[in-house]
Amino acid sequence: MRLISKLTRRFLKPAETLDGYDHPELIDLVFRKAQIYSPTTSWPEISGAKTVLDFGGGCGQHFKEANSSLVRWAVVETPAMAERAKELSTDRLQFFTDIRSAADWLGDIDVMHSNGAIQYTPKPEEALSKLCALRAKKMLWYRVFLGEPDIEVQVSCLGDNGPGYLPVREKLVRYERTRIAESSFHDAHIGYRLAERGEDWFHYSLI
């Protein structure tokens, strides 16, 4: 079924477009995918962490990937996504709409994690500054959109959102993405050292 879906998208462009990550159809799909998601890989960067703030963590799929009975996990999401995800809350997994509330629930933060999210916020550099100010022991960034600052409209297929695969009547999703200057991104990490990096991912450690 997944192969058929990929071929259909390649040769037959969806006719309908949804606007923004807060569209109910997208949120429902991400929620349903997170419910059944069962990751099989390990995550050594999270090993040993007791508290994690997950910025833009959807409906908690990364919490499942951590696969730890010890970690407390706070997801910061849009109001619409956080409201839908509350059904999945536990004593170890909670959903918030702002960084400060998530940090207050966690206390000391071992890891700040964000995967492909900061560039889709209305004010990326403001969110970046708030996250760095938390003084988490580690800052793990993945799929960060850096370069000459600008704003562009990006389009993805609905089925590509959320973890894993579910059959869906394919549509396009349109949203704005803001590029952050690489110098501004690194300068925000005052008091951190860059431990590892790749083309679009960065691991920082608190000095």
How far is the C-alpha of 193 from the C-alpha of 96, rounded, in Å?
A: 28
Q: Does a structural domain hold residue 97? A: yes
How far is the C-alpha of 188 from the C-alpha of 175, rounded, in Å?
A: 25
Q: Does a structural domain hold residue 48? A: yes
DSSP 8-state symbol, 115 = E
The answer to whether 35 and 163 are in contact (CB under 8 A) is no
How far is the C-alpha of 198 from the C-alpha of 181, rounded, in Å?
A: 16
Q: Does a structural domain hold residue 196? A: yes
CA of residue 54 relative to chain centroid, distance: 7
Q: Does a structural domain hold residue 17? A: no
What pLDDT is stored for residue 6 in this prediction?
53
**What domain range is 86 assigned to?**
24-144+182-206
Burial class of 9 by CB neighbour count within 10 A (0 to 12, 13 to 18, 19+): middle
From first to last of the 207 residues of the chain, give the pLDDT tens digit.
454 455 455 556 777 999 999 999 999 999 999 999 999 888 999 999 999 999 999 999 999 999 888 999 999 999 999 999 999 999 999 999 999 999 999 999 999 999 999 999 999 999 999 999 999 999 999 999 999 999 999 999 999 999 999 999 999 999 999 999 999 999 999 999 999 999 999 999 999
Check which CATH number belongs to the domain holding 104 and give it: 3.40.50.150
Q: Does a structural domain hold residue 62? A: yes
Q: Does a structural domain hold residue 96? A: yes
- Structural domain count, the chain: 1
Q: Does a structural domain hold residue 156? A: no
Q: Does a structural domain hold residue 169? A: no
